[in-house]
Amino acid sequence: MTGAPIATEREESLRPGCFITFEGGEGAGKSTQIAKLAAWLRAGAEGREVVTTREPGGSPRAERIRAAVLAGAGKPYGPFAEALMFAAARLDHLATLIRPSLARGAVVLCDRFSDSTRAYQGAAGGVDAETLAALERVVVGATRPDLTLILDLPPEAGLARARQRDRAAARGPDRFEAEALGFHQRLRAAFLAIAEAEPARCAVIDARGTPESVAQAIRDAVAARLPHLARGAADAA
Ligand code: Z5A
């Protein structure tokens, strides 16, 4: 493995950067909102470095795993094997991009992270929570997000948005978009349960509004939870 080694709790508590993850069901607007938050933070007076990335993927090796898993290569092996594929991608992503960026003092905005494994492979896929928690401890260690924004939307609305986008791009649904509505309802409940269990880390954002009203709700949550990030950005806005 290359890049930064797994950090200790103490090293993580002293890291200069800030780690924000976006979670939610299909078509909730994560990609749209990451771009908006990155622009707002970059416009800040302090010239802050903002790194945007995604999971699965975010590093060349993890992107190769992404292509395989979203094409359904892991499905015949079952949800635990898929969790291992996501974990392998995350290990490389953390080592080569996330930890080095945080160590330099960057703000890292990541589209999905380990809560997606808990929700997709755990609550919706049936892998037991303790097994996934053990995997998370080994892979993520102390590099937990400072803030997780959970974009909440009824699955029917999110799937409709994703289908519209797929039609415009002339492509079909991927491995997870193709799951039945019940799967997506379990996902939504799982993300809300994570937020309820970890209120200090998670903020639930109502994703039903316009892109701009959702972006404002996200800026408000960042300002409330991480005021040192918002100060420079709000001054420049
Ligand atoms: N997965 C997993 O199972 N386990 C794991 O550990 C991890 C991931 C890390 C990654 O797919 C898949 O991997 C994912 C979970 C699984 N499941 N799937 N599929 P992905 O990265 O390709 O897709 P995604 O993460 O689900 O995101 P998405 O479908 O691309 O949606 P999004 O990023 O949340 O939304 P968006 O692209 O910003 O918006 C979707 C469309 O809606 C687009 O046309 C927008 O213009 C439109 N939009 C956005 N906001 C609005 C508002 N407010 N109103 C109206 N329309 C809007």
Weakly modelled stretches of the chain, pLDDT under 50: 1
**Ligand 1 mean position to 127 CA, how many Å?**
22
- Which of 120, 139, 153, 163 gets mutated to test ligand 1 (max ligand atoms within 8 A of its CB)? 120
Kindly tell me the burial class for residue 237, based on how many C-beta atoms sit within 10 Å of its own C-beta (0-12, 13-18, 19 or more).
Answer: exposed
Atom 37 of ligand 1: nearest residue by CA position? 31
Q: Which amino acid is at 231?
A: R
Angle at alpha carbon of residue 106, lines to 236 and 145, rounded to 5°? 105
pLDDT in tens, 36-62: 999 999 987 677 899 999 999 999 999
Residue 89 has a pLDDT of: 98
pTM score, two decimals?
0.94
**Ligand 1 mean position to 182 CA, how many Å?**
18
Residue 46 has a pLDDT of: 72
Residue 206 has a pLDDT of: 98
What residues flank ligand 1, with Cβ below 6 Å? 24, 26-32, 54-56, 70, 86, 111-112, 116-117, 120-121, 161-162, 165, 174, 176-177, 210-211, 214
Residue 177 has a pLDDT of: 77
Question: What 3-state class would DSSP assign to 77?
Answer: helix
**Contact by Cβ (8 Å): 108, 19:** yes
**What are the phi and psi torsion angles at 202 (to 5°)?**
-110, 145
Residue 237 has a pLDDT of: 56
**Where do the domains of the chain lie, and which CATH numbers do they carry?**
17-236 (3.40.50.300)
